[in-house]
Structures are given as structure tokens and as C-alpha cells.
A and B are shown apart, each in its own frame.
Chain A
Amino acid sequence: MKQILDRDGHLSQADALTASRTELLEIYRLAKLTRRADEEMLRLQAEGLGDLSFFVPSFGEETAHVAATLALEFDDLIFRGLRGSGIALARGVDLHAFFAAALGCDQAMGRSLPGLSAEPEFSICCGSARPAASLMPAVGAARALALKGQAQPRIAVAFFGVGSTQHPDFAGALELATHLESPVLFLATSDRQGPSGEIAARAENAGVSAEYVDGDDAIAVFESVRSLSQIVRQDGRPGLIEMAVEFPEPGGNPGSNPAHDRLGNFLKSEGLLPDDLSREINRAIDREVVEARDAASNLKTQEPRPPSEQIFAEVLCRASADLEGQDQNYRDFDAEYGGSEDPDARCLL
């Protein structure tokens, strides 16, 4: 397993570090932000606010996701599944939009489960909640990007968890990627308590270049993704990195995070994260998250029910006659019974 920082945050391979001071601090900040945002999202879910029915946090994976995302080129096309908060925030998705979408303030952006929305300006595709659903589309997209023959080649990247590797589509995606010689990078997070390097071994057996990396070592993740993504880009062939992370134990302290601590210890030892800066980062994150949460909560309170166009729009590129009819039906019914206090009438809406 590739490791650059040991568990105490000591650099074991100094010459392997190419990330800049700014990049390392940004990984640290974004990983903390992701954890804090996910915690807040779970709190809102527990309170039953809005349409936040089912939120899957990225506890344990967030540092690896952030480090990997920052190591990619900005226009590399990302496919993700659930547990992708850190990916979106690392690409620059606004925290307000993140909370607003999750709470269903914007019905159109809140149609999928939280964290799966499309972010085309950040080169993030609309995700799917099904296991392994992002893998083969990423291969297809990578092949399409290669066909375009751009001067600065783009690659496609699929983030997924160990559950996806149990799905037959994982094997299908590896086969497809080698068959098509697609410039796709698979980024799998696995449980470090589980089988060691099994995902990477399966990829190697399928002919896909693979690495097994300590996913709690942000520097190892960053350097591996940066290096292998360049190989994938230049050679036009697939690659896979298995990032083994420590997930919080059920019932354990979700606030503990060995990946944060390890990177933080390293930054402190290098004089890059003095205590006052650390406190300022934490305060700023708290402020950002609370502001975004409150803004979204207020919006949700003001707009309890979506207007009809948010229900019937974007099914097809042009509204069909039957959808227009249903839209009109909804509006008519709303006009007649929308203000009714009669619960039987309202429930029909």
C-alpha cells in the first residue's frame, strides 16, 4: 500500500511530495468543510426539515475525495455516486446551493438524492444512486472525450465505493474500459479493515493499471491521482486507484478522523498550520455552514410547495400534450382547492 505520510503525520518519502503548500492547506480545509457540512446535513435530516429524506454522508472518505479531486484537471469529467459531498465542494460548488438542493428549495435541483445533482459548470455529471451506476457511463464518456481529439486531452473519472465492486457492472466496466482503451480513471474507496488491495488486484487482472493507496494519507492520494491521471491522459488507457480508508465505527465518534489528523499533524510540523490559523479555519467553516444552512432553511419555509412548472418541466426537451394537460389539471386543482383548510381536499394535491 502506497503511503507517504505515516499514521502520525511524518513524511516517509520526502521526494514523493510535489503538492504545494497552498494545495495541502486547501485539502485540509475542504476535508474539514465537507465533514462539517455532512454533519449538519444529518442533523437537518434528523429534524425532518424539508425534503431531506435520505442523506448519505461521506464520513471517512472525504479527505481522499477532496485530495483526489484537487489532483485532477478542472475540466476532467467526474461521475459520482452517493457520498460525494467532498467532490462537489472541492470542485467549487457553492455551499448555499449544496444545502438548497439537498433541502429541496429548488425542486428542479432537488429531484435526485442530495449530492447527486448535475454541476456542468464544474464538469460534474448528474449522479445515480444505484450501485456501480457511474462506472460504465464514465468509460463511454472517456471514449467520447478521446474521440474529440482535443489538444489538451480530458479524461473521465468515476468515484465509487466498495459496494459498487460487488456489482457485476464493476467487472463489466473494467472489461469495457480495456476494450475501448478509454482514458478513464476509476477511484475506489475501500475499507482498510477489509481485504487488502483486492479491488486494485481485480483491476490489474483485467488489464487496468492500478495502485493501492492509503486513503487516509491525503498526500499519497493526491500524488497518486495526479500521477496516474496524467498517464491515463497521455496513454489513453484506463487506470484505477484503490484508496483504503478508515470508516467511523457504528456508534463510534463520528467526529474523529484519522485522515484529517494525519494531514493536520504534518502541516503543523512543517509550520504551515499554526494554532491560530487552525482555529480560524474551523471558525470560518462553522460560519459558512451555518449561514448556508439557515439560508436554505428559510427558503424552504417560504416555499413549502413547488410551482407546477417545476414538476412538469424537463421531462422531455419539449413538453408533450399529455404533460401540458396534467400541468393544467394541477393548476386548476390548485386554484380551486389550494387554499382550502379541508385536509381531504388538500391531500389530493
Chain B
Amino acid sequence: MTTDRDNFPADPGVDNRPMSDMATQILEGLTKAMLADDKVLCLGNETETQGGLFGATRGLVEDFGPERVLTLPDNPRAQLATALGMAHAGLRPVLSLNFGDDVLGALDILCDDIATLRYRSGGQNSCPMVLRLPSGGGIGAGPAHSRDLARELGGQAGLRVVACGSAATAKSLIEQAIRSDDPVVLLEPKSLYRERAAARVAELDRALVLHQGDDLSLFAWGAAVPVAREAVEQAAELGIEIELIDLVSINPLDEETILSSLRKTGRGVIVEEGSKRGGIGAEVAAVIAERAIDSLEAPLLRVAGWNTPLSRCGEELYRPDCGRVMRAVEQVIDF
């Protein structure tokens, strides 16, 4: 289990590592991987190869040239299929879509062709590629460009799905994703692109314990992590010691870290950005119900987006905030 007691809450005065935003951390990870391995190349439409909507590929084409930062037609199906073909031919493509929602029109390619390639070929073919998806809300982009894709992609066998929970882990995660021999979806919460933090190491398939506590386990990932951090601080002022787990890996789930924490605290709250019905939070709750129900001293509660499309106006009312998390924490503690 990885712990981070020393680094949380972040204290820039103590921590001398340079702070940078998530887009920059991703750019640094991409640059490092491309320097280390000439099989790595970046793909995307013109916007993505010329810097990206969120700036995570800025300067790459100048540094590596148009053959390794390859502009594709603005057709996500063509982009995903190109990445698949390139992986077949021995390259390690990193494909960036403008918005994660764009992948919905190409789910057959992602789920039927890319995710299952290793399995259906009996291990004789593989598809080492990274799909970078700006995910979730936070920028007022309306229902077609604000979906949290953890639910849509998190149950697909053969696909690793990883969510950046902070700028701090983004560089580490993209480097490992590129080195992985599996297809990896990297969910990059749009609301975190400008968050600044010092880089730290996270493992591709391991949850991070961001804060240790004995009273309650708080499970979060992606854009919900900063909200959960805030709740941890507020709860501490009330004398409630929360153990905060950043799942990091949506598929596969690090079930042992989840269960270990829950067995210690006996209480749990799950926070997710996407809508509640059928979400990853339901999967986490099911894992706990199957394997640790006798450790529970109170019902598990989920704090999630509403079961509605995400509205551009009033987005902040849809996404979980610290107030809603604290209300759930108090309900579980008082049970």
C-alpha cells in the first residue's frame, strides 16, 4: 500500500519540488517517453497535435517533427483505428481526443477491436497504446462535452482505465501508461488541467492512500479527489479522521487497498463525479458488500453526480462538492 501522509495536505513551503499544472506534467511525461523510445508517437487531430485544447501537447511537434506528432483527420473512429493499426505494426501510439465524449462514436473500435485484441488473438497480438481523454465537467462545456467516462469504459475487459486525481500523479501515470503493453485509457479531468502540484509517483494499477485516518474511508478518483481532500480537512476540524483513497485505477480496481482501508475504519463514503446510477461507485460498493460486509458499521453512502445530463448552467450544482460529501460523512459517522 502506498501512503502519502507526509505530503498531504500539501505544504509548498516544506516541499521544494517544482509545482506545475496537470497539462505541463502530462507534457513532460510525453516528452520523456518520446525521448526514451522512438516507437512512441503522438496522434490527434490538428488541434491536438498543435498543442491541444488544454495545452498538454504544446511544442511537441516542434520538438519531434510531424512524423512523430502526427495530425489525423478529425474523425475519432479513424484516429482510434489508426492507433490500433500502428500498434499492430509495432509502435506505441498515444492518441489524444479533444474531448473524451468523442470516443462514444468509436466504442466498437475501442471495446471490440482494441481492448480484446490480446485475448482474441491468444496473446499473439497486443495493442500497447494510450488514449488520452479529457473527461468530466468543470469548464461549462455542456452535456455533450462533459461526461465522466469512468462508467462507460471502466467495465471493459482488456482495457486499463486510469484516472488522474491530481496534477501530481499525471506525469507518472502517463509514463507508465506508455510503457504498458496493454491499451490504457487515461482519464484527465478537465477541471484539473490548471491545478498545480509537485510531481509524485503513482502506480498504474494501485490505489493511493492520500491521507490516513481511523474513522471513515473516503474513496474518490479523478475530479472527485480534490473535493474529497477538502472534506478531509473540514472533517479533521470536527475531529473526524478520514482515510482518503484515490483509486487511480478504475479498471482493474485495487480491491485490496479498498478493503484494507474499509476493514480498518468500518465506515465508507464513495465520491464520484459522474452520475450515480450504474457508476464505478456502485462497483466499489459491491466489492465491499461481497467481501467485507461484516466489517461495515454503517451503510455505505455514495456522493455522485445526479442521474441527469450535465447542464452547462448550474454545472456546480451537479458535481459533488465538499458540502455534499461532508453531509454524507456526518450521516455515516452518526449512524
**Interface residues in chain A, defined as those with a beta carbon under 8 Å from any beta carbon in chain B:** 77, 79, 106, 108-109, 111-112, 116-120, 125-126, 128, 130, 133, 135-145, 147-148, 156, 168-169, 172-173, 175-176, 179-180, 313-317, 320-323
Contact = CB atoms under 8 A, between A and B. Distances in A.
Interface string B197-221: 0000000010000000000000000
B125 A118 contact: yes
B118 interface: yes
Max count, chain A CB within 10 A of own CB: residue among B72, B121, B253, B256: B121
A172 B70 CA distance: 17
A117 B82 contact: no
Nearest to B113: A128
B108 interface: yes
A171 to B, nearest CB: 10
B159 to A, nearest CB: 9
B120 A136 contact: no
Contacts of B90: 144, 148
A139 B255 contact: no
B180 interface: yes
For the complex of A and B, list the 4 residue pairs with the smallest distance between their C-beta atoms, beginning with the closest.
A140-B85, A136-B81, A108-B122, A140-B82
Given A141-B85, A176-B82, A126 B91 contact: no
Interface in B302-334: none
Contacts of A111: 119-120, 122
Interface of B: 41, 67, 70, 72-73, 75, 77-78, 81-86, 88-91, 108-109, 112-113, 117-126, 157-158, 160, 180-182, 205, 252-256
B137 to A, nearest CB: 29
Contacts of B122: 106, 108-109, 111, 117-118, 314
A314 B256 CA distance: 22
Contacts of B83: 140
Contacts of A180: 70, 72, 82
Contacts of A128: 112-113
B117 A141 contact: no
Given A137-B113, A322-B252, A314 B118 contact: yes
26 contacts: A120-B124, A126-B120, A126-B124, A128-B112, A130-B112, A133-B112, A135-B81, A140-B81, A140-B88, A141-B86, A142-B85, A143-B70, A144-B91, A147-B67, A148-B89, A169-B81, A172-B73, A176-B73, A179-B73, A180-B72, A314-B122, A317-B118, A317-B126, A317-B182, A321-B252, A321-B255
A118 B124 contact: yes
Given A117-B122, A118-B125, A172-B78, A179 B72 contact: yes
A320 B205 contact: yes
Contacts of A137: 81-82, 84-85, 88, 113
Contact of A112 (B77, B88, B120): B120
Max count, chain B CB within 10 A of own CB: residue among A118, A135, A148: A118
Given A130-B112, A140-B83, 6 more contacts: A137-B113, A138-B85, A140-B82, A141-B85, A172-B73, A321-B256
Contacts of A112: 120-121
B127 to A, nearest CB: 10
B126 to A, nearest CB: 7
B78 A176 contact: yes
Nearest to B181: A317
Contacts of A138: 85
Contacts of A143: 70, 82, 85-86
A136 B83 CA distance: 9
B252 A118 contact: no
A320 to B, nearest CB: 4
A136 B252 contact: no
Nearest to B84: A137
B78 A316 contact: no
B288 to A, nearest CB: 14
B252 to A, nearest CB: 4
B88 A169 contact: no
Contacts of A126: 117, 120-121, 124-125
A316 B82 CA distance: 21
